[in-house]
Amino acid sequence: MTTAAFLSDDAAGAAQTEVMTMAQALNSALHLAMDADSKVLLLGEDVADPIGGVLKISKGLSTKYGRDRVRPTPIAETGIIGAAVGLAMGGYKPIAEIMFMDFTTVCIDQIVNHAAKLRYMSGGHTPVPLTVRTGVGTRRFGAQHAQNLEAWFMHTPGIKVVVPSTAADAKGLLASCIDDPDPCLFVEHFDLVFTQKDEVPVGLHKVPLGKAAVRRPGEHVTVITYGTQVRNAVAAAETLAEQGISAEVIDLRTLVPLDMETVLESVERTRRAVVLHDAHTFCGPGAELAAQITETLWADLLAPVLRLGAGYSPVPFAAGLDFHPTSDDLVAAVHQLMGR
């Protein structure tokens, strides 16, 4: 099969399922993509066997497909992304692994000024079907290995930003990224990779980019979140339900494109909204969401939109100094919105 779309929508969700961790689901997506399309390549530090990536996400791929398609690289993020952009321009579908999201800053010129812009600069003649897989490790890896930088890339036209919260979504969204003709930044949270387990289609599986999921329906307040904070939001919603408050939880899944239709439909009903994320509150994704909600629904809102994110400080190593929002913080924010 060539570089044409390799996963049909007919295959989505139709396969047999089994319980997988997010790591297993991602590995399955990579195996299926490489099996279906010889133009799919993987490159990054330690991605080949026997290591198979620091989190074993690419385990078995180099043994099955060879090191011409699964290429371990030196510790040179600039070279990884530069080579991947060139491969994409040459008709391949490279998947470049940047171990920690912090290190995307080293190669941000290739991502922001080249991969994201080439289609525009060439009048649509030069697509860049590049997937950049990267991880965040909030709470455990300190100031230089745990930054949530998704807002930086949301601010850049031309690149999609994807953050899964379930194993099934991780598999389906990664497949959609690989199959997309334009560059995608795919963010995996280390807290979810081995602890998040759910039913995952065994075969080909796609989740459309730009479509949010309602994880829990509610009537009194809408919580808009993504990634690892989806767990906290659902936990807080369960606590709030015991207190007589019905909270709807929306998992964005894709930050660019942003599914504002689902968000606005929910907030129009509940008339209250909280945006929850691990990124800094200051200039974080919540600022954009709060602005769009307010601009569209200001006359209907019963209270200002609240943003709940990390404090404005480098990420501390010490657990006791952790500054990321918890489910208790969300419960308190909802009480503030409800005037209780």
**Which positions are catalytic?**
145
Q: What are phi and psi of 20, to 5 degrees?
A: -135, 155
Looking up tokens 């950049």 gives: 132
| Of residues 168, 88, 82, 68, the one with CA closest to residue 128 | 88
CA separation, residue 187 to residues 68, 102, 104, 117, 184 (Å) = 25, 11, 11, 20, 10
Starting at the edge strand found earlier in the chain, the sheet holding 184-189 runs 70-72, 40-44, 93-100, 131-136, 184-189, 160-162, 254-256
Distance from C-alpha of 200 to C-alpha of 184, rounded to nearest angstrom = 22
Crossing angle of helices 167-178 and 22-36, in 10° steps, is: 30
